[in-house]
């Protein structure tokens, strides 16, 4: 399950960067994609790296709350 989540997070991040700026995964495409995602390359990298972890935490917390609600 962890491998599937890692693959999905990677594919989502690469897809977001590839389509956000100049289309493609060339140097120009990656640079403009990261800038479009986060306002600059460093911010784009930070957002791209953090987004899958934040999504996983949100899904986990939602499952926990749902299980707690069902258990009552």
Alpha-carbon distances of 18 from 34, 41, 43, 56, 63, rounded to whole Å: 9, 14, 16, 22, 31
- Per-residue pLDDT for 2 more than 80? no
> Which is higher by pLDDT, 61 or 1?
61
Q: What is the pLDDT of residues 12-70, one digit of tens each?
A: 888 888 888 888 888 888 889 889 888 888 888 888 888 888 888 898 999 999 999 99
First to last CA, the chain: 28
What distance in Å separates the CA atoms of residue 2 and residue 53, rounded to the nearest whole number? Answer: 12
Q: Is the pLDDT of residue 1 over 70?
A: no
Q: What is the pTM of this model?
A: 0.65
Q: What is the pLDDT of residue 40?
A: 85
């Amino acid at each position: 399950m962890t491998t599937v989540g890692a693959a999905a997070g990677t594919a989502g991040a690469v897809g977001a960067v590839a389509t956000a700026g100049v289309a493609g995964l060339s140097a120009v495409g990656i640079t403009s994609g990261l800038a479009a995602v986060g306002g600059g390359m460093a911010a784009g990298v930070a957002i791209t790296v953090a987004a899958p972890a934040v999504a996983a935490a949100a899904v986990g917390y939602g499952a926990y709350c749902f299980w707690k609600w069902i258990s009552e």
